[in-house]
Amino acid sequence: MSRKRRRAIFFDAGGTLLRPYPSVGAVYASVAWRHGIHRTADEMEGAFRQTWAALKRRPGLTVSRKEWWRELVFRVLGQENEACFEELFEAFARPDVWQVFPDVEGTLREARVRGLHVGVLSNWDNRLRKLLDGLGLAQHFDSMTISCEVGVEKPNGEIFLAALRAAGVTASEAVHVGDSYEDDLRGAEAVGMDAVLLDRQGRGADGIRDLRDLWVRLEPTD
């Protein structure tokens, strides 16, 4: 990355700051069991991943809308069970089914020490603000730019521009960190922001595996 004066840093939420705990499949299986649907956590996990991939290919708002989640849950369950959906939707609004990655809070504190505006920039629905507060993360952020409130989702450039406006900075003064090559890396770069790909599984050579490596990546070069 070139030598720049950075004034703001934005973070994706899911997969970057937090993950479902112990897993999406485990939560689905536990809740579904109470509604007479008996499938294993692994079966639920596989069905969720397959359905997610299929529904995310649709244009327009996806994870920002409760209706989208309802369709996803019904497909994963293999039936339309409104009571089970509502319990699942409420479950994933609670902090106890999420886990903050161990490298997150130190990184957010370091960003503040460096004098940066620290923001969340996430494709999420209206549960995110309360969830981040419950996880003790909200206190670290100066702004939250959430797709359900902006009306577009990453990689659409409008959501990145909304985050820049919230921070009062230009694209060249900001960097975005996230775990999706298309949504986070390509989306941010398309509007002129620097971006860092978080690749926690080490699947490629372009990203970092741990947020604590972020500052080395962002060190200005001649």
Q: What CATH number did the domain enclosing 123 receive?
A: 3.40.50.1000
Q: Note whether 182 and 190 are within 8 A (CB).
A: no
Task: Kindly state whether residues 126 and 59 are assigned to the same domain.
Answer: no
Please tell me the total number of residues recorded for the chain in this structure.
222
Q: Mean pLDDT, to the nearest integer, of 97-121? A: 98
What is the rounded CA–CA span in Å between residue 61 and residue 160?
15
Instruction: Specify the amino acid at residue 60.
Output: G
Residue 90 lies in a domain: yes
Task: Kindly state whether residues 214 and 130 are assigned to the same domain.
Answer: yes
Instruction: Specify the amino acid at residue 40.
Output: T
In the listed set 97, 124, 142, which residue is the last one of a domain according to the structure? 97
Instruction: Specify the amino acid at residue 13.
Output: A
Q: Please check the confidence at residue 20 and state whether its pLDDT lies above 60.
A: yes
Task: Kindly state whether residues 108 and 56 are assigned to the same domain.
Answer: no
Percent of the chain with pLDDT over 70: 96
Task: Give 133-137 contacts, CB < 8 A, sequence gap 24+.
Answer: 134/94, 134/95, 135/18, 135/95, 135/98, 135/100, 136/100, 136/105, 137/17, 137/18, 137/100, 137/104, 137/105, 137/108
Structural domains of the chain, count: 2
In this structure, of 116-130, 157-171, 189-203, 206-220, the range with the lowest mean pLDDT score is 206-220
Q: Mean pLDDT, to the nearest integer, of 81-110? A: 98
Residue 122 lies in a domain: yes
Q: What is the 3-state secondary structure (H, E, C) of 65-134?
A: CHHHHHHHHHHHHCCCCHHHHHHHHHHCCCHHHEEECCCHHHHHHHHHHCCCEEEEEECCCCCHHHHHHH
Q: Note whether 85 and 73 are within 8 A (CB).
A: yes
Q: What is the DSSP-derived secondary structure letter of residue 173?
A: G
Residue 197 lies in a domain: yes
Residue 2 lies in a domain: no
Task: Kindly state whether residues 134 and 166 are assigned to the same domain.
Answer: yes
- φ, ψ of residue 218 to 5 degrees: the values are -90, -5
Measure the CA angle with vertex 19, ends 55 and 141; round to 5°: 105
Task: Kindly state whether residues 131 and 163 are assigned to the same domain.
Answer: yes
Residue-range definition of the domain harbouring residue 201: 8-17+101-218
Task: Kindly state whether residues 89 and 136 are assigned to the same domain.
Answer: no
Q: Mean pLDDT, to the nearest integer, of 99-121? A: 98
Task: Kindly state whether residues 108 and 201 are assigned to the same domain.
Answer: yes
Q: Please check the confidence at residue 221 and state whether its pLDDT lies above 50.
A: no
In the listed set 97, 131, 152, which residue is the last one of a domain according to the structure? 97
Model pLDDT for residues 157-188, shown as the tens digit of each residue = 999 999 999 999 999 999 999 999 999 999 99
What is the rounded CA–CA span in Å between residue 163 and residue 121?
7
- φ, ψ of residue 117 to 5 degrees: the values are -70, 130
Percent of the chain with pLDDT over 90: 91
Task: Kindly state whether residues 86 and 112 are assigned to the same domain.
Answer: no
* Residue 208 CB partners (closer than 8 Å, separation 6+): 196, 197, 198, 199, 214, 217
Task: Kindly state whether residues 79 and 155 are assigned to the same domain.
Answer: no
What is the rounded CA–CA span in Å between residue 121 and residue 149?
11
Residue-averaged pLDDT of the chain? 95
Task: Kindly state whether residues 76 and 25 are assigned to the same domain.
Answer: yes
Residue 77 lies in a domain: yes
3-state DSSP call for residue 174? strand
